[in-house]
A = this chain, B = another copy of it.
């Protein structure tokens, strides 16, 4: 059985899960408490980070982007990065935008302060950092609106890893309840379309004991 080692509310693990689901590949999810630095896990990934994918034949693929690119290299039926080189460059540009820029400007501040710190008993959230994240997310929501005003999906007219990378980041902040959807209708419309796709269903059923999502989190008509 194909196995994905993941952590709760990791946007990069969510990206890998959605890519696997969109390509209709069976897999089991195994929760890895990466901070415990389990020797068997470090042997698979010396960086000690999730996600790690183990293929049915035992081959190991490490990291959100490498897993995505690997699945795209091997399972070509349902292309998620596109085929023309310039389309692929644009899709990858936007995937990096959300995996790096959104992550640095929003996710680290909100998820890091309000979830990770609590989960790892590292004290109260830094309210200044949370506020910075809450300010920055609006710029990214405007950018989603700008893109979907010109295209069907973020990277072009096909659903792609640009959408998956973006929705993975937004979904983490939405689980925490901090996405200001009401003031950003175009971004909300785009996210509603992503949520309604079968590949996203498993993300919406996530439930962390002691840290429940807001009621709208799994609602397709939020």
- Measured CB to CB, the residues of A under 8 A from B are 46-47, 59, 61-63, 65-67, 69-70, 73-74, 85-86, 88-89, 92-93, 96-97, 101, 143
Residue of B nearest to A143 (CB): B46
The residue that A73 contacts in the complex, of B47, B59, B88, B143, with Cβ under 8 A, is B88
Q: List 15 A-B contacts (CB under 8 A).
A: A46-B143, A47-B97, A59-B86, A61-B86, A61-B89, A63-B92, A63-B93, A65-B65, A66-B92, A66-B93, A69-B89, A70-B85, A70-B89, A73-B85, A73-B88
Tell me the bound Cα distance from A37 to B59 in angstroms: 45
Tell me the bound Cα distance from A104 to B221 in angstroms: 39
Residue pair A69, B47 in contact (C-beta under 8 Å): no
List B contacts of A92 (CB < 8 A). Answer: 63, 65-66, 69-70
